[in-house]
Amino acid sequence: MAAVANRRDDEALDPRAKHAIRGAFLGFFVDIFDIYLPIVVLAPALIYFVSPQIGGTASTIIGASIFAATLVGRPVGALIFGRFADTIGRKRTTIVAVSGFGAITLLLALMPGYQQIGIAAVIIFIVLRFLDGIFLGGEYTSASPLAMEYSPQAKRGYYGALVMTGFPLAYATISLITMFLLFLLPSEGLNSPYVQWGWRIPFLLGAVLAFGFVVYYSRSVSESEVFEQSGGSESPLKDLFSGDNLKNFLQVFVMMTGFWLTLNTVAAVLPGLLGDPVGLSSTSVTITLVIANVILAGGYVLAGVISQRIGRRPFLIGIGLVMSVAGTLLYYVLISAAPKNLFVVIFLTTVITLLVVSPWGLATTYINERFQTGVRASGFGLGYSLAVIIPSFYAFYQAGLETFMPAEYTVLVLLVLGALLIVGGAAWGPEIRDVDFSEDARETP
């Protein structure tokens, strides 16, 4: 059976391929939209779920715990759903995963607060976000391999980058929605409209998006021809952690650890630095990040196209070196100079974001190309998700660095370290842009 994924010409995409790629993009968009709900949307209304007497430090810990619960759930979901995607199919697994996090997001939108059920409110919220993370981990673990297996080999870098643009576009969307709601609805005090019910609107929207995606995916997306040709695997996890697959997984893990560490320097640390020491207001910070992320979507596509021309390995090695030097230097200028001109800040932030985060445009394509069909979903999901664990403790690494350098510059050390991990991880692996998924499927035991 000829698979669409292996065509080397530039003819128009088969309709099945179009729907698969569009489905992976939409799934990733809804996924990221859901992930940032508690960070962006709930932050101004966190008081709804905690005691009014709670201190600022405790409130920060609770907010971090809500986000951490989602992160911890994602690799668990990759483990569970990756096995199903490699045994019963990518499409059915995607539908179950997205239905799951859509239902949980709906429950979160209807949650009572501390006034109604006391401390149980935040406990239930954290538990639901953990379960949410499990289903979120299942979405990209199954939908992305399906899309890559339908993508023409000669343009896999481009289409993989299109899927990844769901990340910056979803972040920009949810930031704009939250800024608009905060503009319309007062958010000062426990009984303010935003705190009592305004935050629920984006959660409800997230649930609607998830259920709408399920309808589209079930009607329009076909199961991967490559997967059907291979027949799947009886024990994908056992196969993944043995032989060459294990070596491939370790190489991906090293490289993706660098990806996550460098991402945290921009996505997690930079917004706070734009407030202090740079001195932007919260509204200006949001506008700056929205602009940077919209432009970043184009950076993803450019990265995918360049890697298709020169190869994944040389691109990642080169961009890692550029990131470690030019990206770190520009980051230092932004922090040390603290420009008062908003346009200068937006420019520097955008360039830093492009240099540091644009390699993520290759993540979906690269990891899927690194594993054979029988373990591709498991390898992609776990390679993508497990690598987030070490970088997630970035704040602790910064605290240790503070003992011998100014706090605001500790992020630069993490940026250099992450960039070098990307370089080392990419150099460890082979060039893979010409991997033939059809041949791979026929060779899968």
Q: Alpha helix locations (H) across 165-311?
A: 166-184, 193, 200-220, 225-230, 236-240, 243-264, 270-275, 282-310
Mean pLDDT of the chain: 93
For residue 2, pLDDT over 60 is answered with no
pLDDT in tens, 23-45: 999 999 999 999 999 889 998 99
Q: Is the pLDDT of residue 225 over 70?
A: yes
Give the pLDDT band of residue 5 (cuts 50, 70, 90): very low
311: left (phi over 0), alpha (psi -120 to 50) or beta: left
pLDDT in tens, 43-67: 899 999 988 888 777 787 888 788 8
CA–CA gap between residue 266 and residue 283 (Å, rounded): 18
**299-325: average pLDDT:** 98
pTM of the model: 0.92
| DSSP letters spanning 142-185 | HHHHHHHHHS-GGGHHHHHHHHHTHHHHHHHHHHHHHHHHHHHS
For residue range 97-118, list pLDDT tens digits in order. 999 999 999 999 999 999 999 9
CATH number of the domain within which 316 lies: 1.20.1250.20
Q: Is the pLDDT of residue 387 over 90?
A: yes
Q: Which domain holds residue 308?
A: 4-443
Query: How many domains in the chain?
Result: 1
- For the four alpha carbons of 305, 310, 313 and 315, in that order, the dihedral sign comes to negative
> In the prediction, which pLDDT does 1 show?
37
Q: What is the pLDDT of residue 90?
A: 97
Looking at residue 4, its pLDDT comes to 41
